[in-house]
Every structure is written in structure tokens, then in C-alpha cells.
Amino acid sequence: MKKTSILVFILVIALVTTLAMVGCSSKAQSSKKVVGVIQYVEHIALDSAREGFVKALNDKGYVEGKNLTLDVQNAQADQSNLSTISDRFVSNKVDLVLAIATPAAQAIAGKTKDIPIVGTAITDYVAAKLVNSNEKPGGNVTGTTDMNPIKEQIDLLVKLVPNAKTVGVLYTSSETNSVVQAQIAKQAIEAKGLKYVEVTVTNSNDVQQATQNIVEKCDALYLPTDNVLASSMPIIHGVTVQSKTPVICGESGMVQNGGLATLGINYYDLGYKAGLMAVKILNGEAKPADMSIEGASKFDFAINGDVANEIGLKIPDDLTQYIIKK
């Protein structure tokens, strides 16, 4: 009888221990965070922002395969893809979404008011109807803005092309971020006493014809941080190198792919900042509604020396240190 009692006691202890271990395992598993990444299109700037975001998570202890699952999706500039990806994230009840570029943020924000959304590479959150204000977003969206130093970029254009009389601006009419930047560029260009002309595109299929159109009307061309144009820079370069048109871009990735120069945002740094904001949300330390939109803290000169040679433009001596090395 005593032996039976002891055996039963041992079995009960073993069962309790097993259940406790299962409970601990379930608890540990449930602590793993799932972050969905919805990227509008693939190009250097947006890729860099994504990489910076992931690095910030890693630096703060969120490591994929350990306590983090990343579901990275690229919409390839397709609105239906954005909708499908957003539906997937909502259905899977991810813990947080990183939205890279304005269309991506608008797509996921239209699907959920509960899942925290951190945006990056977004120019104007208010104009895009993503937040109530930059200081107090008020909903489930916050993040970092890639608003450019546009006035300074136009100053750079004037320095590089001092004889320019007319400046053209090419942008995508359906991208809210691009429309905002074009308006600011227009003011900066006209403040210099220069003539402003613009041509818009609706998608990548329009880029070649639109570029051919605008280079006939201007002495230099300004491109904002526009996703369609960023992914079409080889096409733009093919036209502007033939017309010998200097192209000042909104960011350095566009310069690497055929533009002449920029004083632009460091997108890796911008994504890293967004990652730090995401960490606070994942840790339960803050909510998007109370987190102010943050801007870039680092701007970089970038000049494409090969393009300068191709169009016959001499770089001023004080800027030669910023020529991109291949």
C-alpha cells in the first residue's frame, strides 16, 4: 500500500512538473513578437530604411528566430498587392506593422485601427491623413518622416548649374508625398527668381515620355523622393544624359542610379529611428497615439562623378569630396 502511494505521489509530481514546463514553454512562445513589414516598392532608399529598422530591433534585443518573427512583404508598387498584404497582417494579428512609404502606410492604416503601425520614408503624415498632427498622432500610426531639405537642395542646384533659368520638377501625381514636395520646390525655385515648370506621371510606364517632355522645357531637373521615379532612375538617366540635363534628386539612392547630386536624407538612419520607436511600442512603454513624428537628423551630400562627366559638368572644388566612389 505504501509503495502504491509513493508511486502515485511520484506520478503526480511528474505530471505537475510536465504541465509547468508546458506552461512555461507556451508563455515563452507567446512572448515572441511578430512584426509585419509592408514595403511599397524595391529601391535603394526604401531597402536602406528597412535594414536600419531591423538593425535597431536587433540592437535592442529583438532578434529574428529567437524572440522575433519578421514577415517582410514587398508590394512592387501595386495597389492590389498592398491591400492583400494588409489583409494578411490583420488576419494574422501581427503585433506591429512597419509601413515603408506613404502608399504602404495608407493601405494598412485603412485596414486596422488596433494594430500599431510605425511608418518610415513618409513625407507628410498629416497630408496623407495618417495622423491628426505630427506632435500628437492620436491613432495607431506614428513613425519617421523623410521630408527633405528641399530649399537647400534647390540651393545646391543653383550652385551646380549657375546659368539655369528654368527648373523642371518631375513627380508622380498620385503620391501625396511627391505633391507636397513639388509645392515646396516650386516656392524655393521661384524665390530664386527662376522659372518653374512641371510634368507629372501616374506610373512607371509614363516615365520615359514624361522625362523626354520636361527636358525640352528646362535647364535643370529636380526630382523629389518619389517612389515611382526612384525605381525608374535608369530610364531617367538614359534620357537626361542624352539631353545633358543636370538632375538634382531627393535622396542618394537616386543619385547612385543615375542622378547628378543631392543633399539628402540618410534612409538607413531614418529606418533605425523608426525601429527605436517600434521597440518602445513592443515593450509596452509607449503607444503610437502619443508618439510624435520624428524627422531625420542626418543629411548627406552625394554627387555622381560619372554623370557629371557624361553631361560635361564641372563639380566645384569644395564639393568634390562628396563624389560617390564606385
**pLDDT above 90: percentage of residues in the chain:** 87
Residue 283 is given by DSSP the state T
- In terms of Cβ atoms closer than 10 Å to its own Cβ (0-12, 13-18, 19+), residue 192 is middle
What band does 1 get if pLDDT is binned at 50, 70 and 90? very low
Average pLDDT value for residue range 171-182? 94
Query: Minimal CA–CA distance to 177: which of 127, 107, 129, 222?
Result: 127
Instruction: Locate all alpha helices (DSSP H) within 96-232, ordered by sequence.
Output: 102-109, 150-160, 176-191, 207-215, 227-230
Asked which of 29-33, 276-280, 290-294 is least confident by mean pLDDT, the reply is: 29-33
Mean pLDDT of the chain, nearest integer: 91
Question: What is the rounded distance in angstroms from the CA atom of residue 1 to the CA atom of residue 51?
Answer: 66
pLDDT digits (tens, 9 = 90+) for 108-129: 999 999 999 999 999 999 999 9
- The tens digit of pLDDT for each residue in 193-223 reads 999 999 999 999 999 999 999 999 999 999 9
Whether the predicted pLDDT of 98 surpasses 60: yes
* CA 153 vs CA 6, 39, 86, 183: distances in Å: 82, 26, 35, 14
In a 13 Å sphere around the CA of 183, the CA atoms on its Cβ side amount to 11
Residue 69's pLDDT band (cuts 50, 70, 90): very high
Q: Look up residue 72 and give its three cell numbers.
A: 517582410
Helix (H, G, I), strand (E, B) or coil at 137: coil
pTM of this prediction? 0.80
Q: What is the pLDDT of residues 157-168, one digit of tens each?
A: 999 999 999 999
Identify the band that residue 326 occupies on the pLDDT scale cut at 50, 70 and 90. low
Per-residue pLDDT at 11: 42
Report pLDDT for 325.
Answer: 74
Q: What confidence score (pLDDT) does residue 49 get?
A: 97
Go through the domains of the chain in sequence order and give each one's CATH number: 33-147+266-298 (3.40.50.2300), 150-264+300-322 (3.40.50.2300)
Lowest mean pLDDT: which of 1-10, 16-25, 230-239? Answer: 16-25
Of residues 18 and 107, more confidence is placed in: 107
In the predicted model, is pLDDT for residue 22 greater than 60?
no
- DSSP H or E run through 249: strand 247-249
Indicate the pLDDT class of residue 16, thresholds 50, 70 and 90.
Answer: very low
pLDDT in tens, 126-136: 999 999 999 99
**187 grid coordinates:** 516656392
Q: For the chain, how far is it from start to end, CA to CA, in angstroms?
A: 84
